[in-house]
Amino acid sequence: MSKEPEYSLLPEKTLELNLMQLLLKISPQKDRTVQCGRGSGKSTGAAIDIVDTIEEMPKSKNFILTGTFQQGLTRTLPSTIKALEMMGLVKDLHYFIGRKPPVSWKWEEPYEPPLDPKHSIFFYNGTCWDLLSQDTNSRGANYCNGFADEAQDLNNEKTQSQVIPTMRAEFKRYGHKTTYRRFSRYCSMPRNRKGEYIFEYEELAIKHPEEYLYITAPSRVNAHNLPPSWFKDQKRILLPSEYDIEIENIRPKQVTGGFYPQFDDRKHSYINFNNDYYDGLIDNNNGYKPEAFENMNCMQDADLLINQPLYISMDYGSWFNGIVTAQEDGDQFRFISAVSINEDVTFEDLLIQWCTYYVPHREKTVFYYYDHTARDHDARAEEYPEIVKRVLGSFGWHVIDMYIGMQPSPDDRYKFMAALYQGNQRQLPKVTMNAYHCKWLIVSLNGAKAKQGAKGVEKDKADEKNHKIDQRTTTHFSDAHDTLLMGKFAGLTLHQEPIPSPRWG
């Protein structure tokens, strides 16, 4: 068996490239898409991009593009730091993030220095990268090349109209270089409709292979760089359905129609982080420190109305416990988070996790919507509503009990959700959800299948009984979403009896 090719960076560092990384290294195409499984070495591929650029275009200015500034700080930079260290480049020795090097080090400046070092990475030979994100301004600057991390979360229209045109700097100096105007997308398997644009580049690579490179591979492409037990551990940690997607890189089946045919995550989701808060953390730490971004709370959320009450609903069970949180803002009703816990911890742990995240929230009033199923306590001494009021109360929350009784029929729910997400009834609010914090709620809505029942359309909940399927991806989150929306708004269209006056708990 032939040995993997070696790519020497510094005298004391040698890296064995896997097939995906080797293709990236030798391929001449300027437009590259890498859609591979977890642990496949995408971060190392991006680090090779950086090192090649440093060597070919010293003093150039380039960019790293992410969907949000938050993503760049909490996920992209930590993995990039690790990958660069594998290649012999050490933070605060060979490069600085969020601040310039000490003046006494007398490093070269880029030809076009960034105006604000908080959003930049400075290397020893004057090459730099700006950290761009689609929730901040990415227009105006001139760059030589760039790459996108977690590209499946990007708005491709914004990328093409705002970012790609900026790759125009230093043409006379570097126009003949391989790395000049090169743009790489690194991504995993898309989990929503917004990310499916990635597959368009696969088609372009087939039609125009001289211009477009598209690499797709399972995690085992990097098996020689992973611990021998890694795949076994992933099989133990992940349910089979998630293993197929995350490790084998198998495209999930798409539901057409479904129980929420009018829901479209491209239209009904948004991103809204408090980027000033992140800037403050960089300033307070005299540059970028990964540990400052490890334990975030609701101060990072710009969509949170910190002086307004919250609305919650839940889905309960032995395999799954999850909570959705929403807020009202004029004619908008926003789902701002959807969180769950592993089945090996308790329902109370979920509530404590929720309370800990929302500790900074000033208005400690929460409207708790639940139906008759929440009162089935099985072997527990307390019913779920009593546990909710006890735990949230211990954190200072004033819980307003919103018991809705029996849910409307599945067919009524189906019709109501269609009207709600179609958005053409003035008495109903515009419902949206935070794409980052509600990731699994969006997956749940997109994957909810419909079937014909004896009394009309029903939600197909068969996957809830399959322990081989990650329960976050099944209909649990969608059920919690239904309880909250039906309880609060269904009376406006289904001519129901008004919900009883809230009970203060």
* E-assigned strand segments in 292-444: 310-315, 321-329, 332-341, 365-370, 398-403, 430-434
Q: Which domains are assigned to the chain?
A: 29-246 (3.40.50.300), 265-504 (3.30.420)
H runs (alpha helix) in 73-174: 77-86, 156-158, 171-174
Rounded Cα distance between 64 and 498, Å, is: 52
**Could you read off the pLDDT of 96-143 as tens digits, one per residue?**
999 999 999 999 999 999 988 999 999 999 999 999 999 986 666 899
**Could you read off the pLDDT of 227-272 as tens digits, one per residue?**
989 999 999 888 888 999 999 999 987 777 799 999 999 999 999 9
- Residue 271 to residues 245, 260, 307, 334, 438, Cα–Cα distance (Å): 24, 21, 20, 12, 10
116 CB contacts (<8 Å, ≥6 apart)?
none
Could you tell me if residue 311 is left (phi over 0), alpha (psi between -120 and 50 degrees) or otherwise beta?
Answer: beta
- The amino acid that residue 379 corresponds to is A
- Do residues 3 and 186 touch, judged by C-beta distance below 8 A? no
- Do residues 298 and 324 touch, judged by C-beta distance below 8 A? no
**Could you read off the pLDDT of 32-77 as tens digits, one per residue?**
999 999 999 999 999 999 999 999 999 999 999 999 999 999 999 9
Q: Are strands 212-217 and 321-329 parallel, antiparallel or unpaired?
A: unpaired
**Whether the predicted pLDDT of 7 surpasses 70:** no
Give the pLDDT confidence score for residue 12 in this predicted structure: 57
Q: Looking at 89-98, 111-120, 169-178, which range is the least confident one?
A: 111-120
Rounded Cα distance between 11 and 311, Å, is: 58
Global model pTM greater than 0.85: yes
Rounded Cα distance between 101 and 92, Å, is: 8
Q: Which helix (H) or strand (E) holds 384?
A: helix 384-394
Average pLDDT, the chain: 91
